[in-house]
Amino acid sequence: MGCGGEKKEGDRKVETGPKPAASPEQFTERFAQLTGVRLSRSLDDLVGTRLEVPAEPNRFARLGTYSLVWTRDRADRREVLRGARRPGARGIRWTRSGSTWSAGKSYGRHLVLDWSAGSKRRTNPQFNRLERAVRAAYLGRPGLLPPRERPCRRDPLRDRGEACSLRGVPVTVARGNSALETPAFEATVRKTEVRPALKPKLLPPETASGRFVIVDYRLRTKTLIRSLTLQLRIGKRTFEEAPASVFLARSRLFPLPPAAAYNARVAFDVPRAQAAQVRRRGALVLPAEIDELGDPSAELAQGWIALDR
């Protein structure tokens, strides 16, 4: 998006830098860079261009339900916000339809955000994330976002800096023998293996379509954990847990109470080429933030434990 700077005109220094989005196309490109959500331009209607949220990825867990309109002028902007009360705190205009509240906010002379608040007239972390992203995208200033919400400049496994955001999802990386700390648990990886097959007792061998990458990990819980979904990241590809993981040992069953120790092994069936790179470019991916139901969610944030040990 550009970081800005300055140039000289004679003896004067003139500040230069990113400017507010001048078109719906420019805004949607910036928004995609910050959130991973690529808005599509629908047919223009009487008030301007509606920017539609796709089915996937929509980042619903992080941003909630919302719509955006790029109006043609101030008159159209007023039309979109018609019926809304005068702006209150943070420039939000509240409207109610039946039992549902909506929060509206305008940016410049063209862009209008409408976010569904549900049955209660109040904002929440979803709105706060969305509002930050819309504002930063409109102004072309990703530096306005918290560091963990700013786009990663390169592969998080190669960046030894702070947490960053990969396609709109914050990622924190634990390296070497360091533990991954999340609000729900502390996690460490003890060992990584690559095998062509699993050999469960009293059953026929389970053969991988490529190779099984088996990760032995340990958790120390901080809160109740009803379930946990893990993934494997190798390079730019992500793999889901293989059904064959059911044959691998684990120290206890879910749910896990607070302050519990949990040891388990998990298998991923990956192509041979990726399996050969797992110790150099691989990471175990865990959910790193707790959702409104109290469960760890990888849609909100992710913790990666690098497997280069």
Supply the CATH number for residue 95's domain: 3.40.1000
Task: Name the pLDDT band for 26 (thresholds 50, 70, 90).
Answer: very high
Query: In the block, which residue shows the tokens 């064959």?
Result: 244
Task: Name the pLDDT band for 3 (thresholds 50, 70, 90).
Answer: very low
Question: Is the predicted pLDDT of residue 15 greater than 70, yes or no?
Answer: no
Show which of 144, 172, 193 is a domain's final residue: 144
Q: What is the pLDDT of residue 9?
A: 55
Structure pTM? 0.88
Three-state DSSP class for residue 52: strand
CA distances from 194 to 123, 258, 283 (A): 47, 32, 14
Percent of the chain residues topping a pLDDT of 90: 78
Pairwise pLDDT comparison (16 vs 285), residue with the higher score: 285
Q: Please, what is the average pLDDT of the chain?
A: 91
Percent of the chain residues topping a pLDDT of 70: 92
Give 70-99 pLDDT, tens digit per residue: 998 877 777 777 766 678 888 999 999 899
Q: In this structure, is residue 290 part of a structural domain?
A: yes
Q: What is the pLDDT of residue 45?
A: 72
14 and 140 fall within a common domain: yes
Q: In this structure, is residue 152 part of a structural domain?
A: no
Task: Name the pLDDT band for 47 (thresholds 50, 70, 90).
Answer: confident
Number of domains in the chain: 2
Structural domain boundaries, residue 199: 164-306
Distance CA 166, CA 128 (A): 19
Q: What is the pLDDT of residue 30?
A: 98
Evaluate whether 282 touches 155 at the Cβ level (below 8 Å). Answer: no
Q: In this structure, is residue 214 part of a structural domain?
A: yes
Question: Is the predicted pLDDT of residue 309 greater than 90, yes or no?
Answer: no
User: Length of the chain in residues, anyone?
Assistant: 309
Exposure string over 126-150, b if 16+ CB within 10 A, otherwise e: bbebbbebbbbbbbbbbeebeeebb
Residue from 146, 154, 186, 163 nearest 286 by CA: 186
Distance CA 219, CA 18 (A): 44
Q: In this structure, is residue 151 part of a structural domain?
A: no
Question: Is the predicted pLDDT of residue 17 greater than 70, yes or no?
Answer: yes
80 and 183 fall within a common domain: no
Question: Is the predicted pLDDT of residue 178 greater than 50, yes or no?
Answer: yes
Q: What is the pLDDT of residue 7?
A: 55
Q: What is the pLDDT of residue 239?
A: 98
10 and 122 fall within a common domain: yes
Q: What is the pLDDT of residue 231?
A: 98
80 and 182 fall within a common domain: no
Give 112-169 pLDDT, tens digit per residue: 999 999 999 999 999 999 999 999 999 999 999 999 999 999 999 887 667 999 999 9
Task: Name the pLDDT band for 199 (thresholds 50, 70, 90).
Answer: very high
301 and 187 fall within a common domain: yes
Supply the CATH number for residue 241's domain: 2.60.40.1240
Q: What DSSP element (H or E) covers 41? A: strand 40-41
Q: What is the pLDDT of residue 146?
A: 97
